[in-house]
Amino acid sequence: MKDKLGIVIVAAGKGSRMGTQESKQYLQIDDKPILVHTLLRFNRMDAVDEIVLVTGPDDVERCKGYAEQYGLGKIKRIIPGGKERQDSVYQGLLTLTGYVEWVMVHDGVRPFAAEEHIMACLAKAKVTGAAVLAVPVKDTIKVVDRDGFIKATPDRSSLWAIQTPQAFRFSLLVEAHEQARRESFLGTDDAMLVERLGTKVAVVEADYYNIKITTPEDLPWAEWIIRQVRGEKK
Ligand SMILES: Nc1ccn([C@@H]2O[C@H](COP(=O)(O)OP(=O)(O)OP(=O)(O)O)[C@@H](O)[C@H]2O)c(=O)n1
Ligand SMILES: C[C@](O)(CO)[C@H](O)COP(=O)(O)O
């Protein structure tokens, strides 16, 4: 357990914003499912000891097939997720209890996280206890009220778009999830739950290619990224 690193890959969502019949994590880019690209990235990293894959209940068997077909030997467990992303992460964490000291949580639909950024995030978490990848926002962001009027314009220099992976001391993330569950708090990422404990979460600058494939226009962009930017590592 000492210094061991577990990865929780969450892939139990339905991909409703993508609007395809097939959940978006199983759509193919460059002849492999998006989720397989993500898994290959972590599977080949020396720093990774084990991977837990959290999928939809009906997809466990097909993911076992992918693990075999693509030689994803670091996947130790494939389990069904929950209703919300946060529930799926928690299910993944439960299976790592007693096995790892460090954990990184990553979206199954972010296939382009660069290895150097993943390692930088982990290194930062080993110093601070918690770290996330992010990029500075490029647009001006407005807070808009329910009637459609601008309420505020936050200072852009303090705004970052948060990505995954997010790295934590395992015990810290479990405590954060358990407190959130007790208080029925639902966050959109894991860092939010840790922030609620009063723990500082460090931000590590990544790049704009680490997209979360969310809506249809992300697909041609993903095809381009894999060919032009990340393809050389496949
Ligand atoms: N109950 C859920 C919901 C989401 N996820 C995963 O969390 C990641 C980020 O979520 P998102 O992009 O929002 O995916 P979906 O929930 O599938 O998309 P949508 O919100 O459009 O339905 C995805 O890899 C998704 O599969 C999960 O494991 N369990
Ligand atoms: C965790 C995350 O990918 C960070 O950007 C994001 O918050 C997930 O949000 P979603 O609501 O599941 O798209």
How much is the pLDDT for 230? 65
Which residue's CA is the nearest one to ligand 2's atom 3? Answer: 163
The ipTM, to two decimals, is 0.98
Residues with CB under 6 A from ligand 1: 10-17, 25, 54, 81-85, 88, 107-109, 212, 214
Kindly give the distance from the C-alpha atom of residue 10 to the centroid of ligand 1, in angstroms, as a whole number. Answer: 7
Checking if the pLDDT of 201 tops 60, the result is yes
How much is the pLDDT for 233? 46
Q: Is residue 85 within 6 Å of ligand 2 at its C-beta?
A: yes
Q: Is 179 helix (H, G, I), strand (E, B) or coil?
A: helix
Is residue 34 very low, low, confident or very high in pLDDT (cuts 50, 70, 90)? Answer: very high
The C-alpha atoms of residue 27 and residue 120 are separated, in whole angstroms, by 29
Kindly give the distance from the C-alpha atom of residue 185 to the centroid of ligand 2, in angstroms, as a whole number. Answer: 16
Ligand 2 atom nearest residue 105's Cα: 1
What's the start-to-end Cα distance of the chain, in Å?
30
Query: Across residues 150-178, what is the average pLDDT?
Result: 98
Q: Is the pTM of this model over 0.80?
A: yes
- Distances in Å between the Cα of 159 and the Cα atoms of 8, 154, 156, 202 are 26, 8, 5, 14
Checking if the pLDDT of 35 tops 70, the result is yes
Q: Is 15 helix (H, G, I), strand (E, B) or coil?
A: coil
Kindly give the distance from the C-alpha atom of residue 166 to the centroid of ligand 2, in angstroms, as a whole number. Answer: 11
- Residue 121's H or E segment, with its range, is helix 115-128
Which residue's CA is the nearest one to ligand 1's atom 12? Answer: 214
The owner of tokens 């918690």 is: 130
Kindly give the distance from the C-alpha atom of residue 89 to the centroid of ligand 2, in angstroms, as a whole number. Answer: 12
pLDDT digits (tens, 9 = 90+) for 47-98: 999 999 999 999 999 999 999 999 999 999 999 999 999 999 999 999 999 9
Q: Is 29 helix (H, G, I), strand (E, B) or coil?
A: strand
Is residue 234 very low, low, confident or very high in pLDDT (cuts 50, 70, 90)? Answer: very low
Kindly give the distance from the C-alpha atom of residue 13 to the centroid of ligand 1, in angstroms, as a whole number. Answer: 4
Peptide bond into 154 cis (omega under 30): no
